[in-house]
């Protein structure tokens, strides 16, 4: 019998909790044996939930799990077992047996299993050298990001690149400063962590009428730390999907986290995040995907079929993918695109729009909440969604460099006490400038502890808001770190040559108006040859504007990109530090 019910839950423990994020797990609602999972996947090979459950079950058995998978695969070759053996066998003591099993169906059958496997990380093994290249870059990037090891300090540092990743000579960028924006005559409300069209108390009053919230009896977690507030808001949720052969129900608890200068601001932030995640969750409401203000009915076709029908569609190969999209059938929803030609409708792959997508199709994208935001108005939601995309791009495509770090001094009544509180513990709050060639202020705030580096990121047209967002996120992680009964012990060696910048003098290009800032950010993207795609996720039963913003060409994991190479070359000032052969 196919499995129809899953439980999902938010876990605020372990590494997820220490990073200030809720790690979501999805498991079958009853105990499922490995054989039951394999039987289920025979008719539903694209069921991502069951495939991950099978991998987790086999992995938990360690070496015995690999032995079992080898025997089962020899008896009856299947895609899920093939994927498990490909991903785990190379590092196992069972490697010879794994290779013999994988080769047993024959070369052509094996290649076909690679191509047909629904997971891009398995299909990507076909790329061979590119996988090795990415793993080398990931290793160095992790050392740079997590341990602040500057590339220049690594003896004989050299990274392999392929010629297709070299930046285009003479390519220039349009910078935000080029627009010379002026402060608007109509100023929006500034919360410290962003611009809003109304004050938090007005948003709070509006939220009290939302039935999902008024019927909610889940606990609210609220804490204060170094002058800022951190809130967690939980919502019970049932999600039902009935699309093709995939029919399942998920039950569990969703959540949103928020931060702010006041309890009310933090709570509003947490509730709004909970609502945006609820709105973006696949299967919410009755008869999903009904229930949205916009028409989000699903269309299952290939990209080529959509274009033959005369429809504009977002090409997945515009993104950095583990494995190229090969015109497989996908589910699509309607969105809108803004580019140099104006604004027009566009079809968007559903799996990049909805969270925890588990439709009957191959995986192309990594699931992510990037670019998902809510707001008091649609313009406000779009602005915050677009800024998050820009922030993640800077966070992923830029590098730690000592020359780009600085300490803050501040007379600001909110920031000043935070810096002093860390100083009293022997810690210096430093900022790493992650601003890219587009010029949108983007910072990572961090403190250097004896066992790790805690950090938080933020981006905004106003550098002060970007820095404050980064510091608030850092505060949240420091609070959670201390809550685990660990004191904030500084690293034995702290850099003494860090320059200091005044918070009040950080660059600002904001008009201080939500609508005008949105128009400015969109103009910046378009001027750099990028398109901005939006999908309206506003639920009719909530009435709270929610949107997903997507900008093809801005960086996200999992593979190395031309922009990452470009930024690295700029850091060294020449191309001699990199080899041109993989």
| Residue 178 domain-assigned (yes or no) | no
Measured torsion, CA atoms of residues 266, 267, 269, 270, in degrees rounded to the nearest 10: 120
Share of the chain above pLDDT 90, in %: 67
Do 411 and 496 share a structural domain?
Answer: yes
How deeply is 216 buried, as exposed, middle or buried, from its count of CB atoms within 10 A (0-12, 13-18, 19+)? Answer: middle
DSSP single-letter state for residue 168: P
> From CA 22, how far away is CA 274, in angstroms rounded?
12
Buried b (16+ CB within 10 A) or exposed e, 372-399: bbbbbebbbbbbbbbbbbbbbbbbbbbb
| Residue 15 domain-assigned (yes or no) | no
Do 205 and 113 share a structural domain?
Answer: no
Do 204 and 111 share a structural domain?
Answer: no
Q: What are phi and psi of 337, to 5 degrees?
A: -125, 140
Domain boundary among 485, 505, 525: 505
HSE-CB of 65 using CA atoms within 13 angstroms:
18
Do 201 and 121 share a structural domain?
Answer: no
pLDDT for the residue numbered 511: 98
| Residue 23 domain-assigned (yes or no) | no
| Residue 289 domain-assigned (yes or no) | no
The partner residues of 548 in beta bridges, in order of sequence, read 372, 535
Do 400 and 494 share a structural domain?
Answer: yes
> From CA 157, how far away is CA 165, in angstroms rounded?
19
Domain boundary among 80, 109, 127: 127
> From CA 347, how far away is CA 304, in angstroms rounded?
12
pLDDT for the residue numbered 275: 94
| Residue 204 domain-assigned (yes or no) | yes
**CB proximity list for 166: less than 8 A, separation 6 or greater:** 562, 565, 575, 580
**Count of domains in the chain?**
3
| Residue 365 domain-assigned (yes or no) | no
Do 122 and 195 share a structural domain?
Answer: no
Q: What are phi and psi of 362, to 5 degrees?
A: -70, 150
Do 497 and 397 share a structural domain?
Answer: yes
| Residue 368 domain-assigned (yes or no) | no
Cis bond before residue 371 (omega within 30° of 0): no
Characterize the bridge pairing of strands 372-374 and 546-550.
antiparallel
**CB proximity list for 469: less than 8 A, separation 6 or greater:** 193, 194, 456, 457, 458, 459, 460
> From CA 112, how far away is CA 211, in angstroms rounded?
50
Do 113 and 201 share a structural domain?
Answer: no
Helix (H) or strand (E) run with residue 138 in it: helix 129-147
Do 403 and 494 share a structural domain?
Answer: yes
pLDDT tens, position by position, 16-64: 332 333 457 788 888 899 999 999 999 999 999 999 999 999 999 999 9
Domain carrying residue 201: 189-280
Do 193 and 122 share a structural domain?
Answer: no
How close are the terminal C-alpha atoms of the chain, in Å? 48
pLDDT for the residue numbered 129: 62
Q: What are phi and psi of 234, to 5 degrees?
A: -105, 145
pLDDT tens, position by position, 315-367: 999 998 989 999 999 999 999 999 999 999 999 999 999 988 999 999 999 88
**pLDDT < 70 positions in the chain:** 1-23, 129-131, 214, 219, 574-582
Do 489 and 404 share a structural domain?
Answer: yes
> From CA 529, how far away is CA 410, in angstroms rounded?
37
Cβ atoms of 470 and 515 closer than 8 Å: no
Domain boundary among 447, 477, 505: 505
Do 264 and 193 share a structural domain?
Answer: yes
Please count the other Cβ atoms lying within 10 Å of the Cβ belonging to residue 91: 9
| Residue 114 domain-assigned (yes or no) | yes
């Amino acid at each position: 019998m196919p499995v129809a019910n899953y439980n999902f839950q938010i876990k605020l423990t372990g590494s997820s909790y220490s990073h200030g994020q809720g790690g979501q797990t999805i498991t079958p609602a009853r105990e499922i044996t490995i054989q039951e999972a394999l039987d289920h996947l025979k008719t539903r090979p694209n069921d991502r939930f069951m495939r991950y459950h099978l991998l987790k079950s086999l992995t938990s058995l360690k070496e015995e799990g690999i032995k079992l998978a080898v025997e089962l695969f020899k008896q009856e070759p299947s895609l899920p077992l093939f994927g498990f053996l490909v991903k785990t066998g190379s590092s196992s003591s069972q490697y010879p047996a794994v290779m013999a099993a994988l080769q047993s169906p024959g070369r052509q059958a094996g290649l076909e299993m690679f191509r047909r496997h629904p997971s891009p990380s398995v299909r990507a093994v076909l790329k061979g050298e590119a996988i090795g290249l990415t793993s080398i870059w990931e290793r160095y990037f992790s050392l740079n990001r997590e341990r602040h090891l500057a590339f220049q300090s690594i003896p004989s540092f050299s990274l392999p690149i392929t010629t297709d990743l070299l930046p285009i000579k003479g390519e220039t960028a349009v910078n935000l400063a080029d627009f010379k924006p002026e402060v608007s005559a109509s100023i929006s409300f500034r919360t410290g962590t962003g611009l809003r069209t109304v004050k938090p108390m007005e948003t709070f009053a509006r939220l009290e009428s939302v039935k999902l919230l008024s019927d909610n009896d889940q606990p609210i977690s609220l804490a204060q730390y170094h002058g800022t507030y951190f809130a967690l808001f939980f919502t019970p949720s049932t999600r039902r999907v009935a699309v093709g052969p995939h029919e399942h129900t998920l039950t569990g608890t969703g959540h949103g986290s928020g931060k702010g200068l006041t309890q009310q601001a933090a709570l509003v932030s947490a509730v709004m995040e909970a609502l945006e995640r609820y709105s973006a969750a696949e299967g919410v409401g009755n008869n999903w995907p009904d229930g949205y203000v916009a028409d989000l009915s699903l269309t299952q076709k290939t990209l080529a079929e959509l274009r033959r029908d005369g429809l504009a569609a977002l090409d997945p190969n515009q993104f950095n993918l583990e494995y190229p999209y090969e015109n497989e059938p996908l589910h699509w929803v309607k969105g809108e695109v803004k580019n140099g030609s104006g604004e027009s409708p566009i079809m968007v792959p559903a799996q990049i729009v909805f969270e925890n997508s588990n439709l009957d199709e191959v995986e192309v994208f990594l699931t992510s909440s990037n670019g998902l935001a809510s707001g008091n108005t649609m313009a406000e939601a779009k602005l915050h969604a677009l800024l998050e995309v820009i922030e993640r791009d800077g966070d992923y495509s830029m590098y730690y460099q000592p020359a780009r770090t600085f300490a803050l001094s501040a007379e600001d009544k909110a920031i000043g006490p935070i810096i002093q509180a860390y100083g009293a513990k022997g810690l210096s709050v430093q900022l790493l400038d992650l601003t890219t060639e587009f010029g949108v202020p983007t910072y990572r705030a961090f403190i250097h502890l004896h066992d790790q580096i805690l950090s938080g990121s933020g981006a905004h047209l106003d550098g002060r808001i970007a820095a404050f967002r980064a510091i608030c996120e850092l505060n949240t992680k420091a609070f959670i770190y201390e809550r685990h009964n660990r004191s904030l012990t500084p690293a034995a060696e702290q850099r003494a040559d860090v320059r200091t910048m005044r918070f009040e003098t950080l660059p600002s290009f904001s008009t201080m108006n939500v609508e005008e800032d949105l128009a400015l950010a969109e103009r910046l993207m378009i001027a750099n040859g990028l398109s901005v795609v939006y999908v309206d996720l506003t639920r009719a039963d909530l009435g709270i504007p929610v949107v997903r913003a997507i900008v093809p060409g801005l960086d996200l994991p999992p593979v190395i990109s031309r922009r990452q190479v470009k930024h690295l070359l700029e850091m060294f000032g020449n191309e001699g530090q990199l080899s041109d052969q993989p």
